[in-house]
Structure 1
Amino acid sequence: QGGALVTSTAATVLGSNRLGNFTVENGKADGVVLESGGRLDVLEGHSAQKTRVDDGGTLAVSAGGKATDVTMTSGSALIADSGATVEGTNASGKFSIDGTSGQASGLLLENGGSFTVNAGGQASNTTVGHRGTLMLAAGGSLSGRTQLSKGASMVLNGDVVSTGDIVNAGEIYFDNQTTPDAVLSRAVAKGDSPVTFHKLTTSNLTGQGGTINMRVRLDGSNASDQLVINGGQATGKTWLAFTNVGN
């Protein structure tokens, strides 16, 4: 009953949990409950329905995978990118990811959860909580309100445009083709490593004590990452942290 089920849709698992019987077979999962370290990976071309993700549980949906009728409660984690299809409810209300259009809405990322906006994709009204990560590829975009709570991270892997508001109590990083772990540990390319600077454009920025981590070359070119406020304003308190990536 219940417990930490860790499996993928490639496996065959039949059993019961506190909500009743569940099945994982033939690339389909039905009625799975994830909690206390439990995890379900929905692989490309596979599907899951009626999945409940409670505190400490993780639902990971690969690009080309599909999860419907998902219930995510406080402390649960969703891992996906804009190539996945996911719909359900979280603590903030209804959320969805359309893997065909790359559009995501109402995501709540926390407790190890992460979402990657691929090129051409967009995340609307996103909340990133403690230990949550929002990543954006070059050409990915934001709309509505993007809220970064304390302990949250947003990583930019290229130029990104937000047509709405960014409210930052967490950390924003300008990446340079490093791994997420390297970025989050503040590792950056130096010396002979190529550095491609990025630009974050947003209509409004509200600082709530968060930090924007930017890179700059102090070896003559003075090139740097850029933050552009387009048509709106920057208010509140935001820390700017600069790292020299020149020789």
Structure 2
Amino acid sequence: LLLDTPAYKSGLDAGDVIEAVDGVKTKDMSLSCAVHKITGPKGTQVTLTIDRPGEEETKEITIIRDRIIVPTIRGWQRADAGKWLYMIDEEERIGYVRLTSFSAGTASNLEEVLVELESEGLRGLILDLRSNSGGLLDSAVSVVDKFIEEGLIVKRQPGFGRRSILELAHKKKTHPNYPLVILVNSGSASASEIVAGALADEKYERAILVGTRTHGKGSVQGITGYPLGGAQLKYTMAHYHL
């Protein structure tokens, strides 16, 4: 279970079988119907009747609904208390950080992890971008900026006849030049490819890439919402060049 979520706080556990939602049995209930009944406005309650493996009787667990923010940073293993562990090799002081996507909080959360690892004597870092399909371009730029002091990170080309937008690195708050390995695969796309490509660029040679060919997505999308009906339009607004 995700740490600090309503399910985690309520005592729900992985492997629990939900037998009923607010007294309504789930045996013949569709998945979409179950999701609709379990989710709801923040602060409201839902009671789940669960069958836990190894226990003879079912039990009721009341959950207080809340907004769930899915973390985008993981370590190599969880401690008993649920906290992620990031130092994968204690003897050699090698850190491991997996980025599952690039959201608004990814760069700041990564900063906290890097500071923690460096205080523990970090000598090398593995950055895992496998199956990371991307996310916010600004977040990817901020991640790259942590590892190089200056130079071009990525160039955005909004369209023919329009001026390119250059994203540059800044020396301030650049982390030490310890060895950096980035893991990639065919599921690494978009923002992941910006991070991997920029850090492995021959201009900087800041990182070594290990894995298989990445997805190959060189475009930037935008989303426009419409006030009536809740419709949204997703469109390609730019291409990027490393």
| Bigger proportion of residues as helix | 2
Q: TM-score, normalised by structure 2?
A: 0.36
| Bigger proportion of residues as strand | 1
Q: Quick check: which has more Rg, 1 or 2?
A: 2
